[in-house]
Amino acid sequence: AQSVTQLGSHVSVSEGALVLLRCNYSSSVPPYLFWYVQYPNQGLQLLLKYTSAATLVKGINGFEAEFKKSETSFHLTKPSAHMSDAAEYFCAVTDYGGSQGNLIFGKGTKLSVKP
Amino acid sequence: NAGVMQNPRHLVRRRGQEARLRCSPMKGHSHVYWYRQLPEEGLKFMVYLQKENIIDESGMPKERFSAEFPKEGPSILRIQQVVRGDSAAYFCASSPSGRAVFFNEQFFGPGTRLTVL
């Protein structure tokens, strides 16, 4: 079965600094991977998704992620953090063992951005 | 095009009462997923429905929980005889397509935050 591990439940960066949020997955088949962002008291919004096309995926708000099969990783990055990036970020993988598409989520990483 | 709608946004129930959570998918979407988010946890899949059919309920607790998605109207997640451990945020997501649904984005609603006293 698929699983997702997000290293670091809290990450704090300074405004303008690099953002790196880590995600490792476990899957016996080529996965489809997603990053979602959740602002306080809101639902999840898709940042980007990997569906076996280009390994470097660009998303909204300047975020991107690189699929590395050898490392089973899909880390999320942004070159320069903005205050508005403060939120919780979830990595997710599609559950092939389930019924065509329910998502398996990591526990999330809360990103704080210091002025 | 309105997004996924969920109501109520906040729901308070006493132990033993029933909770009904509603989800209206995006226009044109016929697939609905329910997820539960416990404090300090990621979202956990509960159930996947299409119109009038439960496709996968492997994430649903065996007792007290049920879900439906009727031909007309919103999807309903029903929790009978709530207990304190049911306190969580419940999110609904919808997607537009069928067999290739895992290629597609799931659009999430704002969630219903259930508090059981």
Retrieve residue A95's tokens: 């559950």
User: Looking at the partner chain, which of B41, B45, B102 has a beta carbon nearest the beta carbon of A107?
Assistant: B41
Given pLDDT bands bounded at 50, 70 and 90, which one contains residue A43?
confident
Amino acid at A30: P
- Write the DSSP assignment of A74-113 as a string of letters: EEEEESS--GGG-EEEEEEEE-TTSSS--EEE---EEEEE
Report the chain B residue with the minimal C-alpha distance to residue A102: B45
B102 and A41: CB-CB below 8 Å?
Answer: no
Task: Pick the closest to residue B67 from B83, B86, B81, B46 (CA basis).
Answer: B46
B40 and A94: CB-CB below 8 Å?
Answer: no
pLDDT tens digits for B1-36? 578 999 999 999 999 999 999 999 998 888 899 999
Retrieve residue B53's tokens: 């059919």
Residue A105 contacts B, CB cutoff 8 Å: yes
User: Which residues 6+ apart lie within 8 Å of A69 measured at CB?
Assistant: none
User: Looking at the partner chain, which of A6, A44, A101 has a beta carbon nearest the beta carbon of B102?
Assistant: A101
Given pLDDT bands bounded at 50, 70 and 90, which one contains residue B99?
very low
Three-state DSSP class for residue A6: coil
> How high is the pLDDT of residue A42?
82
A104 and B56: CB-CB below 8 Å?
Answer: no
* Whole-number Å distance between alpha carbons of A75 and A88: 15
Asked if residue B102 has pLDDT above 80, the reply is no
Report the chain B residue with the minimal C-alpha distance to residue A96: B102
Asked if residue A95 has pLDDT above 70, the reply is no
Q: Taking a C-beta distance cutoff of 8 angstroms, is the pair B75, B69 a contact?
A: yes
Q: Is A74 exposed, middle or buried (0-12, 13-18, 19+ CB in 10 A)?
A: buried
